[in-house]
Amino acid sequence: MVEPRTSLEGRKILVVEDDYLEALALSSLLEEVGASVVGPIGWAQEALSLVEQGEQRVDAAILDVDLHGERSYAIADALALRHIGFIFTTGYGADAVDRRYRDHPRCQKPFDSRMLLKALSALE
């Protein structure tokens, strides 16, 4: 069971996940703790456009590393340029993440909800 409220309350979290059920679960979890979900978005180019256009506020992001066979690193770069923290999620081990991103927070799938929320809260 997740605590009803966390430091994520009122924050806008971009969810970039290509698995529909996973995206729904993440969205539900975030809404349960009071965050607002931006997305979810399942395609790299769509997420990149959203970040680059900057028309919607994003306080933090959860990025699946592999989106329909395309890596989410361009999205990560765009977020970093805007000083927006992000967490990678992946079903693969740490070696699957490009070397230059290995210092960024990462949650292994299937992930523990509490650990994910803790990692997101630490991005503040």
**pLDDT tens string 37-74:** 999 999 999 999 999 998 899 999 999 988 998 999 99
Whether residue 88 is contained in a domain is answered as yes
Quickly tell me which residue has 């990560």 as its tokens.
Answer: 76
Higher local confidence (pLDDT), 101 or 1: 101
Whether 58 maps to a domain, the answer reads yes
Owner of token pair 């290995």: 102
- The yes-or-no verdict on residue 4 having pLDDT over 60 is no
Residue 117 forms part of a structural domain: yes
55 is a domain residue: yes
pTM: 0.87
Average pLDDT over residues 99-119: 80
- 63 inside domain: yes
CATH code for the domain in which residue 117 is found: 3.40.50.2300
Token match 């979810």: residue? 40
Give me the number of domains the chain comprises.
1
Domain range for 112: 12-122
